Structure 1
Amino acid sequence: MLTNIRIVLVQTYHPGNIGASARAMKTMGLTDLVLVSPRCFPDSEASRLAAGAEDVVDGARVVQTLEEAVSDCVQVVGASARLRSLPLPHFDEPEAMAQELVAHAATDPVALVFGRERFGLTNDEIRCCSHQVSIPANPDYGILNLSQAVQVLAYETFKAWRQRPDSQYRQPRPAEERQPTREQLTHFHEHLGRVMQASGFLTQPHARTEVQLQALFARARPSRKEISLLRGLLRSLEESVKDD
């Protein structure tokens, strides 16, 4: 199950933070590290600060976009110090986030996403996530460095894994009842956008409308079977538009 839990670091500037994050991961049993366009990697500083977790650093995958990093994941939680304009479901407590993440990881890949050292994740990157989580801290000085944030959320995840009710994982849910991957959701939203354009519902690009609909489905959390049903409805509407 822990192998299904992925740590994603977006555009890490200091290679030492990659090594320190890998060390934080390994102490909590996590090994799947993905780096999105790091400034400098591989780098000796990353290996030096891994301090025994060099295998996690050596096994890290480098990709160019966050979409590529999480396309196969059914839940993607973005670590953010503050709420953004996109109204995604938000975990105020890391413990609650970890329990849900571990439950999904029993059958499918999931991801925890961390942004840049200076300004975190952009709004576009938050839109690639299904949820957000914040780490409660001193309101007068709530600053955590990257590896500290990774350590806190990795610890909560490991704790939830240790405390999981074994009976919950003996019979995995059927595939159609599980959450869709981010790739499947992306295809659905692209399909929905095409139908809205073709039907005349959108006569010009309306980014805000599409963002609001994405947030709506993020809160609704349809299953794979429900997404398939909605895709079938969209195909039927497409045929009706063509016939007209």
Structure 2
Amino acid sequence: MADCVPVRCPSCRREHAYTPATFPCACGQPLTVPVLPGGVATHVRQRTWKDSWVKLRCGACGRTDDWPRPEVGCACGVVIRPAVNLGAVGITPQGTAAGAGVPQGSLPAADPPPGGVPSAGVPRAVRRPVFVPVTIRTGQDAVTAAAAYLRWLGFSGVAQDRDRPVSGVDVRGTGVLARVDHSTSSARLRDVETLWLACLHENAVGAFFSLAGYRPDAQEGAGRLQVPLFALDLTGTPRPVNAAADRLIRTAPPAGGH
């Protein structure tokens, strides 16, 4: 398993305990993008596909390839990018994926869910198998990753919504609707409100996934409307960025799930 590295958000100064994800090289050996301990993280303000990848050489076979640059979704609503040690060889001796068992950041030790331990009467966390992320290289991959995550949470009948241009919903399942923003701009309040209205109309739970984080007004509005917000990184691992998302992870699936 890759070592846990402290990463400080340049916006709110909150420190995260981050464990880089591990992926298999074409030769079969596990490879981890080496995060630089003590490096200065940057705020992802304008996302481009070119800047979202880093070239690394496998220490086992010598192959050089593109790998997703590590990213962390902070509770303040921004996406931060830890510094990468480009002089290191991206390889780990173990074959165990970092963060196996739960998505990285689902319930981070450094950032406990608001309110602390659930009070009596609140459902306990659901036991789930290991989540297998979908590496994001295209916008469609982001939608696929969000759908896979909702299935992992326990929702049934999850599939892409072909009427998205009208409804503003990218993924729907039994009792759940989701919007996936894979653009290079932070998600807007209007987009969060559109999802909330769709959920209200269909009496469904909502989930918003964004690759570039959220504008402050969008995060504030989501808190007011209780819309779960998740930050997606290029490993395809969603991370909760508000209390509603933490609750969804702890209590899903609702009635209608499995």
- Normalising to structure 1: TM-score of the pair? 0.27
Q: Which has the larger radius of gyration?
A: 1
- Normalising to structure 2: TM-score of the pair? 0.26
Using CA pairs under 8 Å that are at least 6 residues apart, name the structure with larger relative contact order, 1 or 2: 1
Give 1 or 2: higher strand fraction.
Answer: 2
Give 1 or 2: higher helix fraction.
Answer: 1
